[in-house]
Amino acid sequence: MIKNKISFLYVLVLILITSCSSTKLKTFEFPEPIDTSSREIQYQEKKEYNIGDAVFTDNQFDGARLNNFTQLNDSTYQVTILPENEPINDSPHYAFRIWSNQPQQVYLKLNYPTSKHRYIPKLSKDGEYWKPIDSIAYQ
Question: What does the alpha-carbon distance between residue 77 and residue 128 come to, in Å, rounded to a whole number?
Answer: 24
User: How many CA atoms lie less than 13 Å away from 3 in the CB half-sphere?
Assistant: 0
**What's the pLDDT at 46?**
95
Q: What's the pLDDT at 7?
A: 59
Question: Is residue 56 classed exposed, middle or buried when 0-12, 13-18 and 19+ CB atoms within 10 A define those classes?
Answer: middle
pTM to 2 decimals? Answer: 0.68
pLDDT of residue 12: 53
| pLDDT tens per residue across span 34-58 | 777 888 887 889 999 999 889 999 9
Which portions of the chain are predicted below pLDDT 50?
none
What per-residue string of b and e applies to 31-53 under the rule 16 or more CB within 10 Å gives b?
Answer: eeeeeeeeeeebeeeeeebeeee
pLDDT of residue 83: 80
Does residue 92 have a cis bond before it (omega within 30 degrees)? no
At residue 34, what is the residue type? I
Tell me which residue of 113, 127, 135, 136 sits closest to 58, measured CA to CA. 127
pLDDT attached to residue 69: 96
pLDDT of residue 10: 63
